[in-house]
Amino acid sequence: MTTRPTDLQLASWLVTAGRPSRPGAPLNVPLVPASNFLIGQGRHYARDDGTPTWEALEEVVGGLESGRAVAFGSGMAAIAAVFDQLPAGAAVVLPDDCYQGVCGLVEAGAQRGRWSVRRLALSDTAGWIDACRTADLVWVESPSNPLLGVADLEAIVSAPRRRGTIVAVDNTFATPLNQRPLDLGATVSLQSATKFIGGHSDLLAGVATTRDEAFWHALRRSREIHGATPGALEAFLAVRGARTMALRLQRAQESAMILAQRLHGHPGVQLTRYPGLPSHPTHATARRVLKGYGTIISFDVRGDAAAAEAVCRGLGLIRHATSLGAVESTIERRAALSGQQHLPPSLLRLSVGIEDVEDLWKDLDAALRGVGA
């Protein structure tokens, strides 16, 4: 387990973790583009033994979660490694509002008879507690993508469950700065490092963190046999991006709160979803379980899918692109994506970046009014 000094705040850990300590070493762990190493010093082959660059990323994220981390080539690779631990015929419970990559993975496995699936609303805490008694994997995504539902994670994670049941939390939207699933007793916490950790839309990576030594070894083994290793450059960039994550998150979620409040009252918006708004269905839970409400806003444009697409085209500063958690603000119509047709057709998911909030609002307001003109 990565040990973070108890008197060190998470923001300070992000800046200092994963650095060499040997006198004369570079200040930052360098990019190590190596597949193999000279035999005799404990590291032979990168796929099996890792590299110093991967290990720096694992130290940073492991310390954030106060666990032991395994870095992967993408968030989906980390997720697949968790599902790889399930026995044949396993019972899986996951939210009805769930990342489409997870939905695709689960559907494919169910079609092959690998597991059975039960879907629950995140707000159905009693249902989750009941499901924990018989499930092999309890998969919680909170806040959810893209409806931003917030689970009562403490109640779910602490619910009675069978020995060996895996409780996994996709912590990408909250980040370890706003939510710490392992502190509550989750088996594993997952991050798409592509998002807030990297923070600059220039890499794919994922990290799974656990405090269960046997589970950590199992994740490492899964990475090894499936070849789901991170790239050297991607790991290097993720560490560099993580240095500023606390600052970026603070700035972006302050702006997100302002924008959500303004969108909530805008004539061109039918419905605004943001955990920080009192109108959000799980706002009371969010106030209790999250340290911050995050940087993602979902809102329904007044009108149809064409109106929502017109808003995206009418924006200038905010970029019409997928993904989230980066320095630039991005927006997309989620129902346009494969597997997301169940969502409201005019729903837009906005990832708020670090631009000036007034510039962002001028851009949004103009695009919304342009459609309504």
DSSP notation for 33-70: --SB--TTSS--BHHHH--HHHHHHHHHHHHHHTSEEE
Residues 288, 296: contact at Cβ < 8 Å? no
| Contacts with 316 (C-beta within 8 Å, 6 or more apart), sequence order | 363
Residues 122, 95: contact at Cβ < 8 Å? yes
Please name each of the domains of the chain with its CATH number: 10-242 (3.40.640.10), 247-372 (3.90.1150.10)
Q: Which of 121-125, 235-239, 256-260, 341-345 has the lowest mean pLDDT?
A: 341-345
Residues 288, 276: contact at Cβ < 8 Å? no
Q: Which pLDDT band holds residue 339 (cuts at 50, 70, 90)?
A: confident
Cα dihedral 80→84→89→91 (10° resolution): -60
Helix (H) or strand (E) holding 224: helix 213-226
Helices 75-83 + 100-111 axis angle, to 10: 30
Phi, psi of 326 (to 5 degrees): -105, 175
Mean pLDDT of 250-267: 97
* pLDDT over 70 at 373, yes or no: no
Q: Return the sign of the alpha-carbon dihedral for residues 43, 48, 49, 55.
A: positive
Q: What is the pLDDT of residue 341?
A: 82
Q: What is the pLDDT of residue 61?
A: 98
Q: Which of 36-50, 156-170, 216-230, 250-264 has the lowest mean pLDDT?
A: 36-50
Beta strands at 296-301 and 206-210: parallel, antiparallel or unpaired? unpaired
Tell me the pLDDT tens digit for each residue of 128-184.
999 999 999 999 999 999 999 999 999 999 999 999 999 999 999 999 999 999 999
Mean pLDDT of 74-81: 98
- Could you identify the residue written with the tokens 């700035």? 251
* pLDDT over 80 at 302, yes or no: yes
* pLDDT over 60 at 187, yes or no: yes
The rounded Cα 297 to chain-centroid distance in angstroms is: 15
Q: What is the pLDDT of residue 360?
A: 98
In terms of Cα–Cα distance, which of 234, 161, 224 is closest to 201? 234
Q: What is the pLDDT of residue 367?
A: 98
Q: Coil, strand, or helix at residue 174?
A: coil
Q: What percent of the chain has pLDDT over 70?
A: 99
In terms of Cα–Cα distance, which of 293, 305, 315, 299 is closest to 267? 299
Q: What is the pLDDT of residue 41?
A: 74
| Contacts with 328 (C-beta within 8 Å, 6 or more apart), sequence order | 201, 319, 353, 355
Mean pLDDT of 314-327: 97
pTM confidence score: 0.95
